[in-house]
Amino acid sequence: MREMIKMVIVLTILSCFSGGVLAYLRNSTQDRIDNQVLEFVKGPAVRTIFEGAGNNPIADRFTIKDGDIQRTFFVGIFEGEPRGVAFETSGKGYGGDVGLMVGIDVKDNKLIGVGVTTHAETPGMGARAKSEPGFVAQFKEMSLEKPFKVAQDGGSINAISGATITSRAVSAAATDAEEIYQKLKPQITEDLKKFNK
Amino acid sequence: MAKSLTQEFVKGLWAEVPPFRLVLGLCPTLAVTKSIENGIGMGIATTFVLVGSNVLVSALRKLIPSKVRIACYIVIIATFVTVVELVMQAYAYPLFLKLGIFIPLIVVNCIVLGRAEAFASKNGVFRSMLDGLGIGLGFTLALMALAAVRELLGTGALTFWVTPIQIFGPSYQPFKFMVEAPGAFVALGLMLCLMNLVGKK
């Protein structure tokens, strides 16, 4: 019986101690890890979209609560004016969700560009949505009025050959982004003013 | 049985070098040795866990009841692995992306648990630290050696940190097979063979 109690006590103390250490470390590295994830996972897409921007779009960002979701918006400042926002949406691809960074020009109400962030599509097929810039380049400067559709569905986006599902996922994510943008537009314009110099 | 302190340290570098002599810890050895950079990263992470867990296990060896010792060792090891994971995410994110799942998998690495059970639970703190350091360093060097062979033949370049350094020049036709999974087995087999040949003398 005494041995039993000792086992329980030792294991409990050990677990509590390690839990405490890890919780402390987690708290103190949280911000840094978030920054690193933004820089290396979302950073490349954001930087391509905001090419030529006069600021660091990863550092200039704000968050808006959309229902239960916390959405992060990256700000692109062009010629001293904060007119670009980029945020992430996703669409159902062949191998799971395809994450898409969508940049919108707030002033002219059009797309600046899009870029795939995370995906699990087949290499050589759907994965080309990320590796070949030609596909996402079609979205550049498109107007937000019509929903984005691939040519097979009566839209104007040429799908990647052999990867229609992925192309649809990207188009759906872009359409989704447009809806979110229209819904949150008042807040976005409000928050963007803070970046006016 | 009584070895000098230097011997405890040095044995990990040659006589008991984990992947080649004990043939332990092959999962990360085969999986991450695509470039020297990955090998070094994995080696340092494992060394840190080894030293940490060895020191703690040996310091607590009189307190840990023998019936739950494995559970205690796993808690200690898992804690150190999570520390490595968090620190690597915070300070070397690109490396973390490449090593990915193999960092949390250090928890179930035979070398770490093996040293805790076979060495640290029977020896003093300082000795256990030296043992962990020696085995860890041996593991790192072994990973580097294997990675060097594979990367050099497979791509004609060596990556120590971020950018590959071309060694063979542009006329070299990369032997792609070596950086793919089957190449890891072939390279490891050849290394084992070489180690045994040298050891025979």
Are residues B87 and A29, on separate chains, in Cβ contact within 8 Å?
Answer: yes
Asked if residue A18 has pLDDT above 90, the reply is yes
Partner residue opposite B72 with nearest CB, options A10, A32, A36: A10
Asked if residue B165 has pLDDT above 80, the reply is yes
**End-to-end Cα separation, chain A, in angstroms:** 72
Spatial contact of B154 and B176, defined as CB atoms under 8 Å apart: yes
Q: How confident is the model at residue B138 (pLDDT cuts 50, 70, 90)?
A: very high
Asked if residue A144 has pLDDT above 80, the reply is no
pLDDT tens per residue across span A26-76:
999 988 888 888 888 778 778 888 777 777 777 778 888 877 888 888 888
Q: How confident is the model at residue A25 (pLDDT cuts 50, 70, 90)?
A: very high
User: Percent of chain B at pLDDT above 70?
Assistant: 99
Which pLDDT does position A119 carry in this prediction?
Answer: 80
Is A11 an 8 Å CB contact of chain B?
Answer: yes
Least confident of A101-105, B45-49, B183-187: A101-105
Partner residue opposite A11 with nearest CB, options B71, B82, B83: B71
Secondary structure class of B116 (helix, strand, coil):
helix
- Overall average pLDDT of the A107-126 stretch: 79
Torsion angles phi and psi, residue A82, rounded to 5: -75, 95
Q: How confident is the model at residue B201 (pLDDT cuts 50, 70, 90)?
A: low
Partner residue opposite A11 with nearest CB, options B72, B79, B89: B72
| Mean pLDDT score across all residues of chain B | 88
Residue of A nearest to B92 (CA): A36
Token code pair at residue B136:
């860890």
Asked if residue B1 has pLDDT above 60, the reply is no
**What is the ipTM metric for this complex?**
0.78
Asked if residue B50 has pLDDT above 80, the reply is yes
How much is the pTM?
Answer: 0.76
Is A25 an 8 Å CB contact of chain B?
Answer: yes
Torsion angles phi and psi, residue B158, rounded to 5: -125, 130
Least confident of A1-10, A50-59, A68-77, B45-54: A50-59
Are residues A7 and B79, on separate chains, in Cβ contact within 8 Å?
Answer: no
Token code pair at residue A60:
């200039």
| Mean pLDDT score across all residues of chain A | 82
Are residues A33 and B86, on separate chains, in Cβ contact within 8 Å?
Answer: yes
Spatial contact of B94 and B15, defined as CB atoms under 8 Å apart: no
Q: Mutate one of A6, A33, A118 to test the B interface: name it (highest B CB count within 10 A).
A: A33
